[in-house]
Amino acid sequence: MNLLLATAEFFPSPDSHATAGTVHHLAAELVARGHSVACAIPATRAVLNSGLEFKDTGLGLSIPMAGRASNGRLFEARTELGVKIFAVRRDEYYDRTGLFQGDLGDYEDNAERFIFFNKFILEIARRMQPEPQVIHCNDWFTAMVPAFVRAANLPYKTVLTVHRTDYQGSFWELDFDLTNLSRDYFTPGTLEFYGRMNFLKGGLLLANRVVLASEGVARGCMAEPGGCGLEGVFREQAGKMTCIPDAPEGGAWDPSADSALEEGYSAGDLTGKKKCRKALADGTGWKKLGADLLAGVVPGACNSQLADAVRDGWESLSKLPVRWVVWGGGSGPQLGFFQKLAMEHPTKVTVTCSGEKDLRQALAACDLWVSPSLSVPTGGLHRIAHHYGTVPLLEQGGELPSGFKPLGTKSGHVVVADNYSVSGLLAGLEKAVDILGDAKARDVIAQRLMKISTSWGDCASAHEGLYPHA
């Protein structure tokens, strides 16, 4: 088939969202199976620094935005695995430190930035050879595409994969004018949601098919709190939902061949992991770890509820035999909170430098990795941590990812906290201490984690079955 995958992120990185890894691996697998696949992405700073050689296609377009126009240019590249990448460049919109957030929170012009991108996606589709049969959208960033396809009566089928529900692209009504759509598209049956324009809601209603990661995630989205206010919409659209589990991240995250580490290691020999743990402790000044666990976290990937629980419950959390390793490449107010905490409690919290090398070292050194909820797998780092034999701690929120089972069972892999309230996080960490405090048991679990399969074949096969019926 001829496919155009529309996404805000394509290149997996330590601070990217789960969307990046999923689209990256799915596209490569579909190309390997003989499909014609292209990806449309905004030319963000991260994209232009990805190492791919982007060439100007010569196509510059003026996109109508309410009563004016915004200009953009189209660049293209091809990955080593044969996926064609179309990057929409307008530096005023996309040359920023973060995708949709900076140090002070969400960018004020996000509606304009991503309405422009969604409109440009249609212009790419019109000019592609061969023309796409399906446009596969991902999360709120590209969820306006189905509305634009319908409004222009274009022949493309649309599929929307929802990776997370807490970010929805919700903007005030005045931003709707930027779409240049008729007011018929600002109704309860389209984009309007309690007086605001909601990208994700519009995508759920107007896409031909909706994809979620599992039956458990689907059930979670149809109820509070997993639906994040859209649970009624998810229930109404249940008939067009398909559940397709993706695979854990793999490939580039291999501790046996990771040059960033003090010493590589594998499931058969964890000596290198122990050396990585000691190297991080020595570099931090933690000379005597004893039985303390090292718990890693990425501030830019953790929801505010987790940071709030750490802040509000610090008096109790600080008494646990757990030390926090915070990757300094995160973003937003959560990073500032952890930096302040590290200054106040240097024997319990450290913030690393911001490079990818520092993240890899932290992944290898830590015993535990604190990640967001199962229904909101931001950054997909629990899918990376397991390659390093590092146990994910996840907030309950849906079905566990394929291949993962909760610890406490004979073949468990992850610690699941009921929630990220103070009491929920404390109970989850206490469970982790109880299970992982024994070094021999920790090694057995690390080996088990590192043996989880990472094939994307089943995921691609399920999409091949879905696309013709969109």
pLDDT per position as a tens digit, 91-107:
999 999 888 988 788 89
What is the SS3 assignment for 44? coil
Options 3.30.1330.10, 3.50.50.60, 3.40.50.2000, 3.40.50.10490; CATH for 2-247+456-469 is 3.40.50.2000
Q: What's the whole-model pTM score?
A: 0.73
Options 3.90.25.10, 3.40.50.2000, 1.10.1660.10, 3.30.70.250; CATH for 255-450 is 3.40.50.2000
pLDDT of residue 52: 86
Token pair, residue 347, equals 């024997």
Burial label, 362 (beta-carbon count in 10 A; 0-12, 13-18, 19+)? buried
Structural domain spans, the chain: 2-247+456-469, 255-450
pLDDT of residue 379: 42
pLDDT of residue 378: 41
Single out the residue of 256, 259, 262 nearest to residue 276, CA to CA: 262
What is the average pLDDT value for the chain, to the nearest integer? Answer: 89
Tell me: the pLDDT tens digits for 421-470?
999 999 999 999 999 999 999 999 999 999 876 667 888 999 999 999 99
Distance CA 101, CA 345 (A): 28
Partners of 89 in the β-ladder:
73
**Residue for token pair 């709707």:** 176
Token pair, residue 396, equals 């309950």
For the chain, how far is it from start to end, CA to CA, in angstroms? 12
pLDDT of residue 412: 86
Least confident span in 81-85, 142-146, 271-275: 81-85
Whether pLDDT at 303 is above 70: no
Whether pLDDT at 130 is above 80: yes
Q: What is the dihedral of CA 346, 350, 351, 355, to 10 degrees?
A: 140
pLDDT of residue 215: 79
Give Cα separations from 191 to 156, 194, 198, 416 (angstroms): 20, 10, 5, 35
The average pLDDT across 28-43 equals 95
Distance CA 371, CA 381 (A): 7
What is the SS3 assignment for 296? strand
- On the question of a common fold for 2-247+456-469 and 255-450, the answer reads yes
pLDDT of residue 236: 96
